[in-house]
Structure 1
Amino acid sequence: MKRRCFSSVAVTLLLTAGILGACSKDDEPAEKGENAGNVNATGMPIVEEKIQVDGFAAKFFSSQDWDSLMLWEEYEKMSNVEVNWTTVQIEGLAEKRNLMLAAGDYPDFYFASALSKTDLIKYGEQGVFISLNDYIDEYAPNFKQLLDKYPSVKQGVTMADGNIYGFPAIYDPEFEALRAGTPWINKDWLEKLELKAPETPDELYVVLKAFKEQDPNGNGKADELGWGSGYGVAEFTSYLRGTYGLNKQGSMNINLDFKEGTEEFRFVPATDEYKEMLTFLNKLYKEGLVNQDVFTTEPQTFSAEASKGNYGMLSEVDPKELLKLDGYVGVPVLEGPTGERAYNTVSTGLGNLGMFVLTDKAKNPEAMVRWMDHFYGEEGNKMFFMGFEGVTYEEDAEGNFKYLPEITDNPNGLNMDQAISEYLTWPGGYYPGIVRQQYFQGAEGKEATAANAAQTKPYRIKDEDIIPGLNYTLEENDKVSAVMTDVQTYVDEMTAAFITGKQDFSKWDEYKKTLNKMGLQSYLEVAQEAYERMQKEQ
């Protein structure tokens, strides 16, 4: 089962998106491809006469052969577009993708390749990536409808020069379970120890300490653990930021929020509130109430340990779906030291912008924009996530879709992701398109996660308060990159050091002075200019 995509796959990408920007290029009408007259305006096939195109993509499972995968074979029959795939596993994606671009040996399009804003800017400016604006207007009705419906998404995908260079991953803003959800706490352990679910950080400390010391599993051994995550400390801070009054403008620009009562940015990791949050996490860490390897463990390693059922609280997705562990429910949003009770680590629903990009080698841009747009519509969305009726899914009398038992309870012992990956490509979280609740069968689509999201929603940041990811000009991006590459590394290192106790909090002022010496103020000035420009363009 994949982890919660809005706060894990997506958060790393959104962090990159938040500190990097866009380019400047004269507006030019889209050039017609060589076979534009071969393209049907609507319906299938996309082209009357079959075309072949070259695509590059990242895949999660090495066993997949995309040239013979059912998804692409069936879509080829429907569309008359044959893709010659070159694929690489996600772990080797960045190196392979960057080498291809640097050598000029790149395909017609990149799919599921997580191109950063920096790449979009750089290669868009060079003309290697083509502007999609005019093609979207004419050949992408599904995607265009989404841009019209969600202005924040349109803001996010449009670079500072007004161009759109990539089709993004979108997590449906109406799919609440993808937007906000708290960690999971063992309700059975709470009942055994006659404890109530924590409502404040102090109460959370008491609960985690009781879990660790009072033998709630009743086996007579001191083998219980407190709060665990296999995806780093960001899973902890995502839950706690709102509690400590941070990120009141959402998580699209994770290092930025407004000074109280203004629209002037401050740098979140240099605030007193951030220090207070780290002080609390340090208290948990030094008493062994969070997993001590949180900064180094790999997801698979952690999952193997967590599946033993020894953690009282777990981040990521529902432990029942991920680890086959019963008894966990969503923990409440905590009320912070100032009486604030908020969940702020929420995005607009926009994930990585560079999940589908057309290059200047594309001879059939009209056809390929239509090819991609299909997956933002209902039928394409259903095919991408559910597969094929009678083969991977069935529809019940009420019109609900569900995977067949061969997928959910595979006779060969495959988990759901492994089983569906014999037909589809979505597991792993790398894809363009939109994730809708109706067709998504991951943990986020299940009842328990919906209940967790429902109890979080009253405290969730309002959509109108979330600022889309900032888009910079090419010059601004160079300035931001020059500062933030080193600043982000330093922030990550010091965050870990403060939490683990390797750095004493008496060094906090020294830490802030170092940030300023690294050029933090120049970054804030550029970010402020980008925000004000975005406001004017609304």
Structure 2
Amino acid sequence: MFARSRRRVAIAAAGLLTLSLVACSEGDDSSDSDLSANRVGAMGDYKAGDQFKATEAVKFSVLYNNHPNYPLKEDWLFWTELNKRTNVTFEPVAVPLSDYEQKRSLLIGAGDAPFIIPKTYPGQEDAYVSSGAILPVSDYLDLMPNLQDKISKWSLQPEINTLRQADGKFYLLPGVHEKPWHDYSLAMRTDILEQLNLEVPKTWDELYTVLKAMKASNPDPSFYPFSDRFSKPNPAGNLLNVLAMSYGLEGAGWNFQHISWDANAKKLFYTGASEQYKQMLTYLNKLVKEKLLDPESFTQTDDNARQKLTNGKSYVISANAQTLVNENRPDLAKTNPKATLTKIPLPIGPAGEINPTLRLENGIMISKSARDSKNFVAMMQLVDWLWYSDAGQEFARWGVEGTTFTKDGSGKHQLAPDVNVIGLRPNAPKHLQKDFGFYNGIFAYAGKPELVQSFFSPEEQEFQKVMNARTPRVVPPPYPFTDEEREQVSLWETPLKDFVYQAALQFILGQRDLAQWDAYLAELKAKNMDSYMDLVTKAYERYQKEHG
């Protein structure tokens, strides 16, 4: 049950957003500690571990990322049970998954954003800080005992510090993991490995050797052992990202990061101009040149990549736990029932045996307008309970005990016999996401490993065991920009990023010789890379001096 929102999604020209974001006031009353007029519905003595329940019925608007695989329904058990437990009704402002980021920007820029703005990845909040449109949520952590408790117990302060802006505050409530959770890797035809008497590759160099053997075993000239997916909107989005992290970079592909951190030298550097980045491109160029990696991997749709794997035109593809179980294995079963496909532990690169994933994930912005609500404190308590308490996280993920799940004698969660999700009970008539609204990317974030991994198959849990045995990568330091600096770097970042993408593709596909690397670096400098790095270094040094 939820109240139908009357908010309109603002349709505005792109210029409206820009004007709205720069038109900010000098003052910031969000740090005002007097909340006496904003406690209607709030619990008087709310502590970590308590069940939050508003003292009177309250309603909160929330931006809702409407996923096509489980579109929003008014009669979901999630809504009615949330209301029963917390006395809260959500007013969802639903926008399609495909337009979520654009509509979020338009709503915030027009001053029409809902109070609660979830599904926001770290760094995406930067664009809204100078406008004053979102709250510095770090000012209100005293209202969130469960989040405070997890930051303390899980020693998350280094990760939290990466969110801080030039004023020392942070403006995003992130999803927080106790342990790193790395999902994306490569899926490989293990039946082919057995036929060729090959081991699962542990390193990227061993992967090269395996791909060569696969290529030699298949005389079909149209066969490429590795044909990849996840190339929209960024070419080879996943492959470039996991490979970059294996080379000691912060990210590439769909997670391209302009800046990486050298922990040994204590120095920030430009990712796309580094020797590690060049080595990564050289490796991929070798795979393409020797016809081990399908050059269409960088442009084709997911469906095309899946079809090639299904028809035996490839043996390796990027995958995560859900695409492996829900797509790739069922695809293969139709054409080759004896084929076996396994998601292998992420191959190890020059950076060593690391788990490359940090412990923060997408989280929540709070609209500045929420601060003026008489129910503000109750809202922050609700956010703290639903997204950060053990009970709230269990509820958002599993639903209602006795209806959607049960627990065995050891306390382990089990889906109810008539409920399916991610193929765990394929013949069950009901679906946890589609029919009940649980395990939804809007509300089910992060948590303890036993909860995060509670839907995982034994196979996936073994994958996680291998990854968690690796050393977590070093958390990079913050280098927050001032408003003026951010305005300047925003003019540089997009041209730099677009050029790095374009040049990477040219180097990988052999359209540009890697012998031209120095010329490429000169072109980066012409696009203000050095000036950009000067501002980054200045921001880093200033933050270290002012905040340590």
For this structure pair, what is the TM-score category when the shorter chain's length is used for normalisation? 0.7 to 0.9
Moved more, 253-262 or 156-165: 253-262
- Report the counterpart of residue 457 of structure 2 in structure 1: 446
TM superposition shift of 1:38? 2.9
1:500 to 499, 505, 509: 509
Percentage identity across paired residues of the two chains: 22
Q: Is 2:400 the partner of 1:388?
A: yes
- Report the counterpart of residue 52 of structure 1 in structure 2: 59
| Residue pair 1:227, 1:290 contacting (<8 A) in 2 also | yes
| Residue pair 1:257, 1:267 contacting (<8 A) in 2 also | yes
1:526 to 526, 535, 538: 535
Q: Is 2:174 the partner of 1:168?
A: yes
Q: Is 2:337 the partner of 1:330?
A: no
- Report the counterpart of residue 97 of structure 2 in structure 1: 90
Q: CA RMSD in A?
A: 3.4
Query: What amino acid does structure 2 have at the position aligned with 1:424?
Result: G
1:351 to 353, 356, 361: 361
Change (3 A) 1:132 1:299: same
- Report the counterpart of residue 237 of structure 1 in structure 2: 240
1:15-94 correspondence to structure 2 within 5 Å = 28-32=31-35, 34-41=37-44, 42=46, 43-44=50-51, 46-61=53-68, 64-94=71-101
| Residue pair 2:185, 2:320 contacting (<8 A) in 1 also | no
| Residue pair 1:392, 1:420 contacting (<8 A) in 2 also | no
What are the superposed Cα offsets for residues 226-265 of structure 1, whole Å, 9 maximum, x if unpaired? 22432132432344336545459xx998343356852222
**What is the DSSP-based 3-state SS (H/G/I as helix, E as strand, rest coil) of the residue aligned with 2:281?**
helix
Query: What amino acid does structure 1 have at the position aligned with 2:486?
Result: N
Moved more, 486-495 or 447-456: 447-456
**What is the DSSP-based 3-state SS (H/G/I as helix, E as strand, rest coil) of the residue aligned with 1:227?**
coil
**What is the DSSP-based 3-state SS (H/G/I as helix, E as strand, rest coil) of the residue aligned with 1:389?**
coil
**What is the DSSP-based 3-state SS (H/G/I as helix, E as strand, rest coil) of the residue aligned with 1:449?**
helix
Change (3 A) 1:102 1:146: same
- Report the counterpart of residue 15 of structure 2 in structure 1: none
| Residue pair 1:183, 1:239 contacting (<8 A) in 2 also | no
Change (3 A) 1:201 1:380: closer
Query: What amino acid does structure 2 have at the position aligned with 1:61?
Result: P
| Residue pair 1:131, 1:164 contacting (<8 A) in 2 also | yes
Query: What amino acid does structure 2 have at the position aligned with 1:295?
Result: F
- CA distance, structure 2, for counterparts of residue 470 and residue 446 of structure 1: 39
Change (3 A) 1:246 1:100: closer
- Report the counterpart of residue 142 of structure 1 in structure 2: 146
- CA distance, structure 2, for counterparts of residue 470 and residue 432 of structure 1: 30
Moved more, 103-112 or 404-413: 404-413
TM superposition shift of 1:388? 1.5
TM superposition shift of 1:316? 2.5
- CA distance, structure 2, for counterparts of residue 500 and residue 61 of structure 1: 34
Query: What amino acid does structure 1 have at the position aligned with 2:59?
Result: Q
- CA distance, structure 2, for counterparts of residue 432 and residue 532 of structure 1: 37
- Report the counterpart of residue 487 of structure 2 in structure 1: 478
Q: Is 2:210 the partner of 1:207?
A: yes
- CA distance, structure 1, for counterparts of residue 464 and residue 52 of structure 2: 40
Change (3 A) 1:307 1:535: farther
| Residue pair 2:308, 2:314 contacting (<8 A) in 1 also | no
Change (3 A) 1:136 1:246: closer
- Report the counterpart of residue 383 of structure 2 in structure 1: 372
- Report the counterpart of residue 7 of structure 1 in structure 2: none
- CA distance, structure 1, for counterparts of residue 541 and residue 490 of structure 2: 20
What are the superposed Cα offsets for residues 108-147 of structure 1, whole Å, 9 maximum, x if unpaired? 33233x27746x445444333223334321x211111123
| Residue pair 2:63, 2:118 contacting (<8 A) in 1 also | yes
TM superposition shift of 1:63? 5.5
Moved more, 432-441 or 512-521: 432-441
1:81-480 correspondence to structure 2 within 5 Å = 81-112=88-119, 114=120, 117=123, 120-121=125-126, 123-137=128-142, 139-148=143-152, 149-170=155-176, 172-174=177-179, 176=180, 178-179=181-182, 182-198=185-201, 201-215=204-218, 225-232=224-231, 233-241=236-244, 244=247, 246=249, 254-258=257-261, 261-303=264-306, 305-307=308-310, 311-318=314-321, 320-322=324-326, 323-324=328-329, 326-328=340-342, 330=344, 333-334=347-348, 336=350, 341-343=352-354, 346-353=356-363, 355-361=364-370, 363=373, 364-374=375-385, 375-405=387-417, 406-407=419-420, 408-411=424-427, 419-424=432-437, 426-427=439-440, 429-431=441-443, 433-440=445-452, 445-457=456-468, 460-463=470-473, 465-468=474-477, 470-480=479-489
Unaligned 5+ residue runs, structure 1?
1-22
TM superposition shift of 1:448? 2.3
- CA distance, structure 2, for counterparts of residue 207 and residue 160 of structure 1: 48
| Residue pair 1:24, 1:125 contacting (<8 A) in 2 also | no
Change (3 A) 1:179 1:200: closer
Change (3 A) 1:299 1:432: same
Moved more, 181-190 or 378-387: 181-190
Change (3 A) 1:142 1:513: same
TM superposition shift of 1:520? 0.7
- CA distance, structure 2, for counterparts of residue 51 and residue 202 of structure 1: 57
Q: Is 2:500 the partner of 1:491?
A: yes
**What is the DSSP-based 3-state SS (H/G/I as helix, E as strand, rest coil) of the residue aligned with 2:81?**
helix
TM superposition shift of 1:183? 2.6
- CA distance, structure 2, for counterparts of residue 45 and residue 180 of structure 1: 32
Change (3 A) 1:50 1:271: same
- Report the counterpart of residue 17 of structure 1 in structure 2: none
TM superposition shift of 1:37? 4.1
Unaligned 5+ residue runs, structure 2?
1-24, 333-339
- CA distance, structure 1, for counterparts of residue 296 and residue 33 of structure 2: 51
The size of the alignment, in residue pairs, is 492
- Report the counterpart of residue 9 of structure 1 in structure 2: none
Change (3 A) 1:351 1:472: farther
**What is the DSSP-based 3-state SS (H/G/I as helix, E as strand, rest coil) of the residue aligned with 1:147?**
helix
Query: What amino acid does structure 2 have at the position aligned with 1:330?
Result: I
What are the superposed Cα offsets for residues 259-318 of structure 1, whole Å, 9 maximum, x if unpaired? 685222222221233222212211212333223332223345534544556543332224
- CA distance, structure 2, for counterparts of residue 210 and residue 31 of structure 1: 69
- CA distance, structure 2, for counterparts of residue 54 and residue 201 of structure 1: 47
- CA distance, structure 1, for counterparts of residue 397 and residue 308 of structure 2: 30
Provide TM-score, normalisation by structure 2.
0.79
**What is the DSSP-based 3-state SS (H/G/I as helix, E as strand, rest coil) of the residue aligned with 2:269?**
strand
Query: What amino acid does structure 2 have at the position aligned with 1:144?
Result: Q
What are the superposed Cα offsets for residues 57-100 of structure 1, whole Å, 9 maximum, x if unpaired? 21213763354322122111211121221111210112322222
| Residue pair 2:175, 2:362 contacting (<8 A) in 1 also | yes
Q: Which has the higher contact order (CA 8 A, sep 6+)?
A: 1
**What is the DSSP-based 3-state SS (H/G/I as helix, E as strand, rest coil) of the residue aligned with 2:63?**
strand
| Residue pair 2:478, 2:540 contacting (<8 A) in 1 also | no
Change (3 A) 1:430 1:304: farther
| Residue pair 2:200, 2:344 contacting (<8 A) in 1 also | no
